Chains A and B, each alone.
Chain A
Amino acid sequence: DAGVIQSPRHEVTEMGQEVTLRCKPISGHDYLFWYRQTMMRGLELLIYFNNNVPIDDSGMPEDRFSAKMPNASFSTLKIQPSEPRDSAVYFCASSRSTGVRDQPQHFGDGTRLSIL
């Protein structure tokens, strides 16, 4: 059973470049989450989707960040233009709704992003 798949695993790019992170959730999961992990701020929720619709994007740092989910099996997180302070590990997670209570989120391996 495939887990959450993220690509690339590592990305190194220069400041000002556009960065696109990709995520394939577990099949059948209807919730998808994007998190960012840094030493200073820990794990932060950026945005999450339900049935491909963004539900809460209040964690998106600024307009340079955007996320899309064109279908149930794919999501992207884009940073344009990128800045050194965007360097972090970005995790995608997915979960399945089975009622009113939360089901555990399954995390991908993350994308380690370094902006030079």
Chain B
Amino acid sequence: AQSVSQHNHHVILSEAASLELGCNYSYGGTVNLFWYVQYPGQHLQLLLKYFSGDPLVKGIKGFEAEFIKSKFSFNLRKPSVQWSDTAEYFCAVSWGTGRRALTFGSGTRLQVQP
């Protein structure tokens, strides 16, 4: 079965530290890649997406992600985190050009300390 892995379950950083969250997916041809963020008590919000083209994708709030096809990875990065980035981050993937359903990773809980 196709799967999405997020290896960092809980990350604690100080403000201004750099962030990189890992996401790997299982092989399956064409992929559509997403990162969502869920602030405490809120719904999921899209941070960024990749369909094709430039593998370095810029999203909202200073986040970016790089698609590395050879590594089946789509890691999320931010050069300098803020306390307000405290949230849970989900990588999500859909395979192919017809199936719309997303498979989510288990999520990474980011805690930014002031």
Contacts and interface: CB of A to CB of B under 8 A. Distances in A.
Is B one of A's binding partners? yes
Interface of A: 31, 33, 35, 42-45, 48, 50, 55-56, 91, 93, 95, 97, 100-102, 104-110
B107 A101 contact: no
Contact of B100 (A42, A91, A102, A108): A102
B101 A33 contact: yes
A39 B64 CA distance: 27
B43 A101 contact: no
A43 B90 contact: yes
Contact of B51 (A56, A102, A108): A102
B94 interface: yes
B102 interface: yes
B8 to A, nearest CB: 14
Interface of B: 32, 34, 36, 42-46, 49, 51-52, 90, 94, 97-107
Contact of A101 (B51, B102, B106): B51
22 contacts: A42-B105, A42-B106, A43-B90, A43-B107, A45-B103, A48-B100, A56-B99, A56-B101, A91-B44, A93-B44, A95-B100, A97-B100, A100-B97, A102-B32, A102-B100, A104-B34, A105-B102, A107-B36, A107-B43, A108-B43, A109-B42, A110-B43
A96 to B, nearest CB: 10
Given A42-B106, A107-B43, A110-B43, A101 B97 contact: yes
Contacts of A105: 46, 102
A3 to B, nearest CB: 8
Nearest to A32: B100
A45 B42 contact: no
Contacts of B103: 45
A28 B50 CA distance: 23
B32 A101 contact: yes
A31 B43 CA distance: 18
A104 B43 contact: no
Contacts of B32: 101-102
Given A35-B104, A102-B100, A109-B43, 20 more contacts: A33-B100, A44-B104, A45-B101, A45-B103, A48-B100, A55-B100, A56-B101, A91-B43, A100-B98, A101-B32, A101-B52, A104-B34, A105-B46, A105-B102, A106-B46, A107-B43, A107-B45, A108-B43, A109-B42, A110-B43
